[in-house]
C-alpha cells in the first residue's frame, strides 16, 4: 500500500513558455522527482490536464481550449475522485496553471483595496466551485501545494528555476526536531506584543525575537540568525517589492531583502511570513520591480533549498498586540510542521483548526478571517516533511529483511495518511456546516455607528483614530446555520432544546476601515464589532495590514 501524489500541469502553456530543450530539462527533473518519491513510498501520478492521452489513461477527459482555473479544478476534481491522492501538486506558476482570482471578502476602496485575491484554496476544496459562494472554497479538505516558476515571455523561460525547485523536492531529507530548535524571528516594533506571543506559542525564547527597528537587514545579528532553519517575519510587505519592512511610528526600515536571504539562509529552512504579498511571485525584469532585477523573497527562499514558503498573495491582516488572522495561520503552520506534519498537511490543518477554534469559542469569522483563509498559499511540494517521524526513510541497503521491513513501514505510513485524510474531510464538513451565512445589511445610522465605535475605542491607537471615521461604518448580517444541521431526526428535539437556537438567529458585523500612505508604505486599520440583533456588542477587535 503506497500513498498517491497527484501532480498536475498544463503542457500547452509550458510549451509556449519554454523552448524544446528547456522542456526536456523540466521533464528530466520531473522523472527524477517521481523516482525519488517512489523510494519514499509515494506513487506520483504526473499528468498534464490538456494532454488527451495522459488524461484518458486515468479515465478522465482532458481540458479542451483555454485552461482556466475553473476548468482546471474540474479536471483535478475528476482525477482526485479516481486516485484519492494524499497530496496534490500544481507544477507551474499562475501563467501555467492559473490561480483562482476570487472576490476579496474584506474589500473596501478606503482600506483593503484588493478587488480580488489569487488563491489555490478552491483546488484544495473537493466540492464544486461557485464564484457566488464563498463557502464553496473557504474550508479546504485536500492537501495542495504549488511548485512555481517565474513569469516569462513566450519561449524565453529559464528552466533553472522550476528545475531547481523540483530538485529540492527530489533530494529533501527530514531532520530531527532539534534541527529547528533556534529561530530567525522578526517583528515590527509596532506589533511586538503579538510577535512575543508567537514566540511563546512556538516554544521559543522571547529574547530571540528581533524587533525592527532597531534590528534591520544590514545588522550582523540578523544576518547570523538567517542561518537558523526556522523563520518567520511579522512585518510589512509591498507589491512587487523584494523587501520586508519593520515599523515604528512613521519609520519603515528594511528588515529583510531577498538577496540577503540567498546569501545567508540554507537548505531545509522552514519559513512562514505574516507580511502582505509574502508569497507573491513576479519577474525581476518587471518594470515595477523594487529594486530592479531582484527576486521576490519567496523565490529566494526556495532557491536556497527551503522546504517551502507559506505566505499570502495579497494584503494580509495581523494583530497589533494579540495574535490574529495571519499570525495564527503562520504559527499553526510552523508548529504543525515541527510536530511532524508535511508542509501541505500543516497548511490544511492550520486553516481548518483556526476556523474550528473560532466556532468552538462561539465566535463568527469576520471578513478578515475569511480573506486570511483564502489568500495563504504554499509554494513548494506539499509532501515534504521538515521533521523526522512524518514519513519513513528508504532503507540504506536493500536486503530481503530490510526490504520487508521497509514495505511494512511504508504501508503503515500510507494507512495513517488515509485515516488523516478522512478525518480532515469530516472536520471540513463540520466546520463548514457551523459557519454562518453572510448577507448584506443596511448601512448603520451615524449615531449607531458612533455608539459601537465608542464601545471599541479602547483598542485604538493614535494613528487608528486619525484613519477611521466613527460615523462611517459598513455592515453585514451573519445568519446562524440551522441548529439541527447534521443531527439525526431522533435527537433533534433534545438538541434544539439544549441549544435554544433557531435558524433565524443572526448578528451584525460592523466594520470601519481607513488607510494612510507614509513614504510609499500603505498602512490600513480595520476595526470590527460584532453585535447581536439588539445591538449588544459580542466581540470587537482591531486589525492592521502587514
Closest by CA to 308, choosing from 363, 385, 423, is: 385
Same domain, 377 and 488: no
How many domains does the structure of the chain reveal? 2
C-alpha cell at 87: 497530496
pLDDT bracket for residue 493 (50, 70, 90): low
> Mean pLDDT throughout 129-154?
93
> Mean pLDDT throughout 440-447?
94
Same domain, 323 and 468: no
Closest by CA to 47, choosing from 19, 75, 28, is: 75
Same domain, 383 and 466: no
Q: Are 334 and 386 in contact (CB under 8 A)?
A: no
Q: What spatial distance separates the first Cα and last Cα of the chain, rounded to whole Å?
A: 44
pLDDT tens by residue, 395-441: 445 555 555 555 555 566 667 777 877 788 888 888 888 899 999 99
SS (H, E, C) 232-288: EEECEECCCECEEECCECCECCEEEEHHHHHHHCCCCCEEEECCCCCCCCCCCCCCC
Same domain, 447 and 371: no
Question: Which among 393, 423, 457 is the end of a domain?
Answer: 393
pLDDT tens by residue, 34-73: 999 999 999 999 999 999 999 999 999 999 999 999 999 9
Q: Is residue 488 part of a domain?
A: yes
Same domain, 226 and 369: yes
Dist. CA 262–CA 119, nearest whole Å: 26
- List of E strands, 350-443: 376-379, 437-440
Dist. CA 515–CA 138, nearest whole Å: 27
CATH code where residue 249 lies: 3.40.50.1460
Dist. CA 8–CA 20, nearest whole Å: 19
Same domain, 362 and 473: no
pLDDT bracket for residue 489 (50, 70, 90): low
Phi and psi (nearest 5°) for 493?
-60, -45
Same domain, 221 and 352: yes
What residues contact residue 450 under an 8 Å CB cut-off, 6+ apart? 470, 471
Dist. CA 465–CA 300, nearest whole Å: 38
Same domain, 200 and 300: yes
Mark out the alpha helices in 444-531 (DSSP H runs): 446-455, 462-467, 492-499
Q: Is residue 377 part of a domain?
A: yes
pLDDT at 495: 43
pLDDT bracket for residue 499 (50, 70, 90): very low
pLDDT at 243: 97
pLDDT at 501 over 70: no
Q: Is residue 369 part of a domain?
A: yes
pLDDT at 300: 97
Task: Tell me what percent of the residues of the chain surpass a pLDDT of 90.
Answer: 79
Same domain, 467 and 360: no
Q: What is the β-pairing status of strands 521-532 and 506-518? A: antiparallel
Question: Which among 358, 393, 428 is the end of a domain?
Answer: 393
Name the residue with higher pLDDT: 184 or 414: 184
HSE (CB half, 13 Å, CA atoms) of 466? 7
Question: Which among 339, 362, 393 is the end of a domain?
Answer: 393
Q: Are 121 and 334 in contact (CB under 8 A)?
A: no
Q: Is residue 415 part of a domain?
A: no
Query: What is the pTM for the complete model shown?
Result: 0.92
Cβ-in-10-Å burial (0-12, 13-18, 19+) of 480 comes to: middle
Same domain, 362 and 471: no
Q: Is residue 309 part of a domain?
A: yes
pLDDT-wise least confident of 50-54, 208-212, 283-287? 283-287
Dist. CA 129–CA 165, nearest whole Å: 29
> Mean pLDDT throughout 142-171?
90
Dist. CA 212–CA 184, nearest whole Å: 13
Q: Is residue 57 part of a domain?
A: no
Plot region of 340 (φ>0 → left; ψ -120 to 50 → alpha; else → beta) = left
Cα distances from 110 to residues 86, 303, 516, in angstroms, run 42, 37, 9
pLDDT at 9 over 80: yes
pLDDT tens by residue, 353-375: 999 999 888 889 999 999 999 99
Cell 530548535 sits at which residue?
181
Q: Is residue 133 part of a domain?
A: no
Same domain, 349 and 256: yes
pLDDT tens by residue, 228-276: 999 999 999 999 999 999 999 999 999 999 999 999 999 999 999 999 9
Q: Is residue 344 part of a domain?
A: yes
Same domain, 201 and 294: yes
Q: Are 230 and 270 in contact (CB under 8 A)?
A: yes
- Note down the domain range covering 190: 175-393
Dist. CA 390–CA 339, nearest whole Å: 9
Amino acid at each position: 500500500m503506497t500513498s498517491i501524489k497527484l501532480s498536475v500541469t498544463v503542457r500547452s502553456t509550458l510549451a509556449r513558455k519554454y523552448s524544446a530543450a528547456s522542456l526536456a530539462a523540466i521533464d528530466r527533473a520531473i522523472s527524477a522527482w517521481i523516482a525519488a518519491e517512489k523510494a519514499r513510498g509515494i506513487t506520483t501520478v504526473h499528468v498534464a490536464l490538456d494532454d488527451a492521452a495522459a488524461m484518458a489513461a486515468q479515465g478522465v477527459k482532458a481540458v479542451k481550449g483555454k485552461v482556466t482555473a475553473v476548468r482546471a479544478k474540474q479536471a483535478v476534481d475528476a482525477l482526485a475522485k479516481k486516485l484519492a491522492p494524499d497530496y496534490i501538486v500544481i507544477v507551474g506558476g499562475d501563467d501555467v496553471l492559473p490561480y483562482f482570482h476570487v472576490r476579496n471578502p474584506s474589500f473596501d476602496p478606503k482600506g483593503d483595496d484588493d478587488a480580488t485575491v489569487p488563491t489555490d484554496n478552491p483546488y484544495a476544496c473537493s466540492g464544486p466551485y461557485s464564484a457566488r459562494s464563498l463557502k464553496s472554497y473557504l474550508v479546504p479538505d485536500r492537501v495542495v501545494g504549488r511548485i512555481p516558476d517565474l513569469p516569462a515571455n513566450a519561449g524565453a523561460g529559464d528552466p533553472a528555476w522550476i528545475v531547481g525547485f523540483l530538485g529540492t523536492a527530489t533530494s529533501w531529507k527530514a531532520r530531527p526536531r532539534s534541527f529547528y530548535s533556534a529561530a530567525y524571528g522578526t517583528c515590527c516594533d509596532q506589533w511586538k506584543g503579538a510577535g512575543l506571543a508567537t514566540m511563546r506559542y512556538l516554544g521559543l525564547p522571547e529574547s530571540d525575537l528581533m524587533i525592527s527597528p532597531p534590528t534591520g537587514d544590514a545588522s550582523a545579528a540578523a544576518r547570523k540568525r538567517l542561518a537558523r532553519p526556522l523563520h518567520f517575519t511579522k512585518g510589512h510587505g509591498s507589491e512587487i517589492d523584494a523587501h520586508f519592512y519593520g515599523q515604528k511610528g512613521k519609520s519603515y526600515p528594511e528588515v529583510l531583502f531577498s538577496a540577503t536571504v540567498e546569501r545567508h539562509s540554507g537548505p531545509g529552512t522552514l519559513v512562514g511570513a505574516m507580511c502582505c504579498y509574502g508569497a507573491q511571485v513576479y519577474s525581476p525584469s518587471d518594470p515595477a520591480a523594487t529594486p530592479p532585477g531582484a527576486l521576490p523573497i519567496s523565490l529566494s527562499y526556495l532557491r536556497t533549498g527551503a522546504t517551502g514558503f507559506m505566505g499570502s498573495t495579497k494584503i494580509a491582516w495581523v494583530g497589533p498586540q494579540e495574535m490574529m488572522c495571519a499570525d495564527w495561520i503562520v504559527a499553526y503552520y510552523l508548529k504543525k510542521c515541527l510536530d511532524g506534519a508535511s508542509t501541505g498537511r500543516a497548511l490544511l490543518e492550520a486553516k481548518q483548526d483556526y476556523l474550528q477554534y473560532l466556532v468552538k469559542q462561539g465566535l463568527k469569522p469576520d471578513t478578515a478571517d475569511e480573506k486570511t483563509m483564502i489568500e495563504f498559499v504554499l509554494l513548494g511540494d506539499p509532501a515534504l516533511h521538515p521533521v523526522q517521524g512524518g514519513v519513513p526513510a528508504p532503507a540504506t541497503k536493500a536486503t530481503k529483511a530490510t526490504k520487508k521491513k521497509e514495505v511494512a513501514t511504508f504501508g503503515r505510513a500510507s494507512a495513517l495518511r488515509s485515516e488523516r485524510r478522512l478525518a480532515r474531510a469530516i472536520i471540513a464538513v463540520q466546520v463548514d456546516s457551523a459557519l454562518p451565512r453572510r448577507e448584506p445589511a443596511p448601512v448603520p445610522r451615524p449615531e449607531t455607528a458612533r455608539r459601537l465605535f465608542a464601545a471599541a475605542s479602547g483598542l485604538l491607537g493614535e494613528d487608528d483614530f486619525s484613519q477611521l471615521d466613527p460615523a462611517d461604518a459598513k455592515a453585514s448580517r451573519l445568519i446562524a446555520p440551522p441548529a439541527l444541521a447534521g443531527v439525526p431526526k431522533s435527537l433533534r428535539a433534545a438538541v434544539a432544546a439544549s441549544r435554544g437556537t433557531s435558524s433565524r438567529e443572526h448578528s451584525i458585523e460592523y466594520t470601519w476601515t481607513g488607510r494612510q500612505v507614509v513614504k510609499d508604505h500603505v498602512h490600513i486599520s480595520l476595526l470590527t464589532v460584532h453585535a447581536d440583533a439588539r445591538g449588544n456588542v459580542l466581540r470587537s477587535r482591531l486589525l492592521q495590514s502587514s
